[in-house]
Structure 1
Amino acid sequence: MDQANRADGVANKDQERAWNGYEGAYWARHQDRWDAVNDGFNQPLLDAAGIGPRDRVLDIGCGAGRTTRLAARLAPQGTAVGLDLSVPMLERARASAARERTANVLFERGDAQVHPFAPGDFDVALSRYGVMFFENPRAAFANMGRALRPGGRLAFVCPARPEDNDWFRALAALRGILPVEEFGAPGAPGMFSLAAPGCASGILTASGFEAVDSVRVEAYGDWGRDAEDAAAFLLDSGPGRHLLDRVGSTEADRARRALADELGPYERGGAVRLRSSCWLVTAGKPAV
């Protein structure tokens, strides 16, 4: 990475553009819906992080700050700092914290790969789906390690194999309409970059962490009130929008109808509930 890109505190320019453009605005505008999708992973993540009442917590890729605020409640005599590249999502995070009167929380804009953390400033680092997009994962995790005190803890969730996620299988059924074959290869840059078994463990060990462990965790989330609503929500998100932009309006209309048909069997009791599968990864910084 050239010095010019590092000088402004951002190593990953592609992600900075995405999360300060359509993608970030969409997430910020629909944060309540994304929380309904992902909140099933909150308790396993927080349990694994083991946050104490006086802990200083770092939330990597905090987005609109849901997990940061939850961490702050577990550390009433400590602090929780959320770090993210996205201006619109951080604005939403700050507004939510103010509305909830969460006083021991702070949100900062930055790229965790190169952010100038004070050495040993945190007891715990965590992330809910915020560690898959680094330009250099090994450098990013090493930088997080420097931010942790000796003996500090890291816990995060990241997607497991694409085909183990109901929403991905529904999208994959659109082959022949949308170019979905280019989306979701484990190990490739993007949300499934850490999906291959052992991938995250290898990177963390090389980045200076110890006692690395990964377990599979599954949770159901609410994606919409009915199949049409869920299909529109998914296809209007960043990945869906990227696929739709690759085809004409006729194919886009076909894709929306086909996806609604795929999601129909998941519609029960006024909601479309889809299963997501992730790795719950924990690690520690050496005590000395």
Structure 2
Amino acid sequence: MGNLLCCVQVEQSTVAVKEGFGRFEQVLQPGCHCMPWFLGKQVAGHLSLRLQQLDLRCETKTKDNVFVNVVASIQYRALAEKANDAFYKLSNTKTQLQAYVFDVIRASVPKLNLDDAFEQKNDIAKAVEEELEKAMSAYGYEIVQTLIVDIDPDEHVKRAMNEINAAARLRVAANEKAEAEKILLIKRAEGEAESKYLSGMGIARQRQAIVDGLRDSVLGFSVNVPGTTAKDVMDMVLVTQYFDTLKEIGAASKSSSVFIPHGPGAVREVASQIRDGLLQASHH
């Protein structure tokens, strides 16, 4: 009906290319336009001005000889002021874009190791965008955004990378565990040393208290009983302690002590040893 009435309608976000007898005349903006077909006027075609996206998957090789699939997304659109170039100069826009993208990716990625390629995805995307912008602007297209969505190595490579990462983490965990055990051993040794030190101090104080008590007993007995010597008093004190010890052992219902043949006379030897020790200590 539009052709019969010599009218044509152009949709929003779209432009139409008007020709007269097969020659380009003008770009028709959205709206209704007069198109007298009997004068050789016609619409050669329509061109969308909407943002379009092209997803590509390019296989290439890194510097360390790892084959990867680089997934890229190209967002582009035709320029209204250059609609005639976009309509006439390119027969297949997506094929042209793909050729440029593959060329840049296969020139950039082989210069990088696999780890560097993952880290420099933005640099690769920027290089692709700059090359596309320079090439496609002559054809009436604008490159809005270029994204490197993913870098996908072979499955065996990914498994090997995961194993390397796992081994590194296990090594770190082993080092941390060893450090923890080392600290534990050091603290335990420090605790044992402190315990033995305190125990030694306690034994030394105990022995000092015994010596002081014996000395006081000897002095007191010598003062109260004239004519007694220190040796006599020491012998009596030791014999008294000897019988007190036997009494305590005998009073225990479940005593596990073993007696060997001995007699109170053996106390004299013990008294002699203690007396000699006291004399040497006082001499020093």
TM-score category (smaller protein) = under 0.3
Query: What TM-score do you get using the length of structure 2 for normalisation?
Result: 0.20
| Structure of larger gyration radius | 2
Q: Kindly indicate whether structure 1 or structure 2 has the higher relative contact order, using CA contacts under 8 Å at least 6 residues apart.
A: 1
| Larger fraction in helix | 2
TM-score, reference length from structure 1: 0.20
